Structure 1
Amino acid sequence: MKITDAKVFVGGPGKPYVTLKIMTDQGIYGLGDATLKSRETVTATYLENYLIPNLIGKDPRNTEDIWQFFYRGAYNRGGPIAMAAIGGIDMALWDIKAKLADLPLYQLFGGKSREGALVYGHATGSDLEDLMDSIAYYVDEGYKAVRVQCGIPGMPTASYGVSEKKGDFKNFITDFSGIHPKVEIWDTDRYMRYMPDALARIRERFGPDLKILHDVHHRLLPREAAEFAKAVEPVNLFWLEDPTPAEDQNALKLMRQHSTVPIAIGEVFNSIWDCNKLIENELIDFIRVAVTYAGGITHVKRIVDLAGLHHVRTGFHGAPSHSPLCMAAHAHLNAWAPNFGIQEYLVLGTSECDALFPSAHRMQNGMVYVSDAPGLGVDFDEKEAARYSYKPGSHPVVRLEDGTLWNY
């Protein structure tokens, strides 16, 4: 069996996905997601000019050797562009392999460990009252876990993950359109004074059973992160996400010394070498890698297995930048992983997205149930894809009130 061709498609309904389709001489094709948010055409060009020419003629069943060829065979290894491109290839090859076996992908990992996988939605509010309404909406929709983000009184602009428009809290997604990034203004003191009490009031309103998550999004210094974590211990958070930038991994030691709040980190990690010490030293409780960004299924399975040895559970990244293909890969890993924790889930489901990526995977009452269709269980309609073109976008940037650039 040989790979005969591969195509890259850039575009989607409101989101410029990078979709890879790998064809074989037996008529079986595989699909992968190589989207690198706000840098989509870079990944596409890397695939088309460098990786795909080296795929042609290879046996798609040799996923391990192909992964090693593109990772270890490169003089300059790793990084987000290369790993997203490798991730797309690897995902498509596993799709082919499972289709050959006529099995859903999770069966190739060892079968199911659970029937449904717990997911969390994104509740947001321009103020606390607005946030409470948003949480209530998700609870009414059947969610058992909700990430909560709130506007901070006196903050010059909306903080991370928060709409400035009151009432805009149903499946709110930050606007990344345009090549020039929007600027958010951040004030740590206001955040530290306000947010612990806001989280306590949320817990009081919704009771002990709702799983509450909160994302600091790298905004605090290590000492501040330790103080904040200690202050919110009574809330019994399911996790505190990205309390401080993960480049300084020693910062997590300080947090561990001062608080027992579970810590979730890793959505910008590209490899096992970004997180192996955090896992081995048990400085985190949830690993947040994504199959696309972290080099595909082959590599992410290694991370999951390492995490399982150290009491670290999965909490895969599930932002809108991941297409239904990446989310399907997560769904199969979630069905299998013995150390599964939770899955981030933002509703992708517009009719346009469903038409582009038809699938029988489903979400019901806060749980995702994986399809038993062979492979990833997601198809791709090229005629639908022709409707979309690439539109550039950028992540916002963050500045302090005096203009200093801060951590996004």
Structure 2
Amino acid sequence: MSEIVDYELFEVPPRWVFLRIETADGTVGWGEPVIEGRSRTVLTAVEELMDNYLLGEDPQRIEDHWQAMYRGGFYRGGPILMSAIAGIDQALWDIKGKQYGAPIHDLLGGAARDRIRVYQWIGGDRPSDVAEQAREQVDAGFTALKMNATPEIERIDDPATVTAAANRLQQVREAVGDEIDIGVDFHGRVSKPMAKRLVEALEPHDPFFVEEPVLPEHNDALPEIAQHTTTSIATGERMFSRWDYKELFEQGVVDLIQPDLSHAGGITEVKKIAAMAEAYDVAMAPHCPLGPIALASCVQVDACSPNALIQEQSLNIHYNETTDVLDYLTDPSVFEYEEGYVSIPDDPGLGIDIDEEYVREQSQQDVDWTNPVWRHDDGSVAEW
């Protein structure tokens, strides 16, 4: 047995945590356990799991380790624990693939496709200049885009706010035409009454999907919102396990799920969530405004999940200040986008080579990203 002998954690800019796990035979696996804005909390959770469950163990027993990490604690689930498990799980799969000399998707049944479509963000946190940015990204080869629907919004807002959101989408649609898909992200900023109004106002401009029209704690409102649109409803980036998704599938109104490979228990759990979704005729587009390890993990699951539709990725996203996805790779060509697609890698493990020297260098910086706290005009806290 080549047991796990060491691990290291690196906080790196712009807002990521990388986990390096090493086995006795010198095999190294990489994971990306992080909650954006709570990275140090997740880092501590990873240390607890590694020290209590993984050091000295056989890295090949991934399912057993997942069960022990999840069920070994009386209190379980939630963003912090599931993100810690996710990063460890990614690294264990990376090790297993390298030890078998196979990409992870081969160990999960083999590729069901040769490439996966990707989409590109436009417009920033408070959406602006969307038409111009949309044209630029289509010229760069992307066939699918995503933008935020609104800046901060009141629980019941004025007609001008609704009109402005519809006009932004209309501008993008007119700029790029009918052969480009445009996802619209409500970002959990929108209350149920405003979501009903917005989905109706956006529909004439044919959005690809409306994402997180309400926060997950208000998923019970989704059937009512769905009555106001034929647009596909997407959600799931703030849902962390198959148990969170179970009620969503039984509800029957969501068309596209967006589990995050660094938040929802990693490769092991998201593969199970994808299979559950397939049984309910629900597509998957994994959430990934994160770094190269998270993206590589997504692509591995996309490769072997028949219902994977499209992949989010964060190249040049508005969060990535000072460093970007490709900076941490020795060979960035693995994420070359052609005709709006990325090819499924066939190198062992995650299919990427992390530039360890660059990771160590960047980890010397003070990384302290927290998401902004927005406020309404009356001073009360607004959803970001």
Tell whether the structures are fold-level matches, with TM greater than 0.5: yes
Secondary structure of residue in 1 paired with 2:230: coil
Q: 2:334 maps to which residue? A: 361
Offset of residue 136 of structure 1: 0.4
CA deviations on 1:243-270 (whole Å, 9 max, x unpaired) are: 1112012110101222211111111211
Q: Deviations over 1:85-122 (max 9, x none)?
A: 11111111111111122111111122222211111111
Distance of 1:335 and 1:17 partners within structure 2: 24
C-alpha distance in structure 1 between counterparts of 2:6 and 2:291, whole Å:
18
User: What residue is the counterpart of 2:47 in the other structure?
Assistant: 48
Instruction: Give the match for residue 120 of structure 2.
Output: 121
Measure how far apart 1:351 and its partner are. 8.2
- 2:230 maps to 260
1:394 maps to 2:370: yes
In 1, the alpha carbon distance for the partners of 2:346 and 2:357 equals: 25
1:222 touches 1:255 (CA, 8 Å); kept in 2? yes
Identity between Structure 1 and Structure 2 (%): 32
SS at match of 1:386: helix
Q: CA deviation at 1:81?
A: 1.2
Which residue matches 2:347?
373
- Counterparts of 1:73-222 in structure 2 under 5 Å? 73-124=72-123, 130-149=129-148, 159=151, 188-189=157-158, 190-222=160-192
2:31 match:
32
Structure 2 contact 376–382 (Cα < 8 Å) conserved:
yes
Q: Distance in 2 between matches of 1:228 and 1:149?
A: 12
**Larger deviation: 76-85 or 52-61?**
52-61
- In structure 2, the residue matched to 1:169 is none
Q: Quick one: which amino acid aligns to residue 78 of structure 1? A: G
**For the residues of structure 2 that align with 1:127 and 1:355, how far apart are their CA atoms?**
26
Task: Output aligned runs, 1:321-340, within 5 Å.
Answer: 322-340=290-308
In structure 2, C-alpha distance between the alignment counterparts of 1:286 and 1:386, rounded to whole Å: 37
Give 1:6 deviation, angstroms: 2.8
When structure 1 is superposed on structure 2, of 358-367 and 81-90 the one drifting more is 358-367
Residue 258 of structure 1 aligns to a residue whose secondary structure is coil
Q: Whole-Å Cα distance in 1 between the matches of residues 258 and 128 of structure 2?
A: 29
SS in 2 for 1:231: helix
- TM superposition shift of 1:220: 1.9
Amino acid at match of 2:95: I
Aligned length: 375
Report the 3-state secondary structure (helix = DSSP H, G, I; strand = E; otherwise coil) of the residue aligned with 1:290. coil
Offset, 1:125: 7.0
| One-letter amino acid of the structure 1 residue matched with residue 301 of structure 2 | L
Larger mean CA deviation between 20-29 and 67-76 belongs to: 20-29
CA distance in structure 2 between the aligned counterparts of 1:263 and 1:326, rounded to whole angstroms = 24
Deviation string 1:353-397 (CA, Å, 9 cap, x unpaired) is 545333452222211112211000123333222212342121112
Q: Deviation at 1:129?
A: 8.0
How many Å apart are 1:398 and its aligned residue? 2.5
Greater alpha carbon shift after TM alignment, 280-289 vs 298-307: 280-289
Residue 193 of structure 1, CA deviation: 2.6
Alpha-carbon shift at residue 334 of structure 1 (Å): 1.3
**1:3 corresponding residue in structure 2:** 3
Q: How does 1:299-310 map to 2 (within 5 A)?
A: 299-310=269-280
Are 1:276 and 2:246 matched, yes or no?
A: yes
Q: Is the 8 A contact 1:186 1:400 kept in 2?
A: no
Q: Measure, in 1, the Cα distance between the counterparts of 2:199 and 2:172.
A: 16
| Cα shift at 1:271 | 1.3
1:23 and 2:22 correspond: yes
Corresponding letter in the other structure for 1:383: E
Q: Which amino acid aligns with 1:380?
A: I
Deviation digits for residues 56-80 of structure 1 (CA, Å, limit 9, x no counterpart): 2211111111000000111110111
- Residues of 2 paired with 1:129 and 1:78: CA distance? 37
Q: Which moved more, 1:27-36 or 1:58-67?
A: 27-36
Deviations 1:266-306 (A, max 9, x none): 11211122221112222211111111100111111111000
Q: 2:187 is paired with a residue of what secondary structure?
A: coil
Q: What amino acid does structure 2 have at the position aligned with 1:286? A: L
- Name the aligned partner's letter for residue 192 of structure 2: P
Structure 1 residue runs of 5 or longer lacking an equivalent are: 153-158, 161-183
The CA RMSD over aligned residues, in Å, is 2.4
Question: Is the alpha carbon distance of 1:123 and 1:62 closer, same or farther for their aligned partners in structure 2, counting shifts above 3 Å?
Answer: same
CA–CA separation in structure 1 for the residues paired with 2:324 and 2:200: 44
Amino acid corresponding to residue 196 of structure 1 in structure 2? A
Gaps of 5+ in 2: none
Taking structure 1 as the reference length, what is the TM-score of the superposition? 0.85
1:254–1:351 CA distance, 2 compared to 1 (3 A)? closer
Against the structure 1 CA distance between its residues 9 and 357, is the aligned structure 2 distance closer, same or farther, given a 3 Å change threshold? farther
| Contact 1:121–1:138 (Cα < 8 Å) also in 2 | yes
Q: Distance in 1 between the 2:157 and 2:135 partners?
A: 28
**1:344 aligned residue:** 312
The residue type equivalent to 1:365 in the other structure is E
After superposition, give the CA deviation of every residue in 1:7-53 in whole Å (9 maximum; x if it has no partner): 223232x3242211222222222111112211112222222244334
* CA contact 1:2–1:56 (8 Å) conserved in 2: no
* Structure 1 pair 392–355 and aligned structure 2 pair: CA distance change class (3 A): closer
Compared with structure 1, are the counterparts of its residues 340 and 50 closer, same or farther at alpha carbon in structure 2 (3 Å cutoff)? Answer: closer
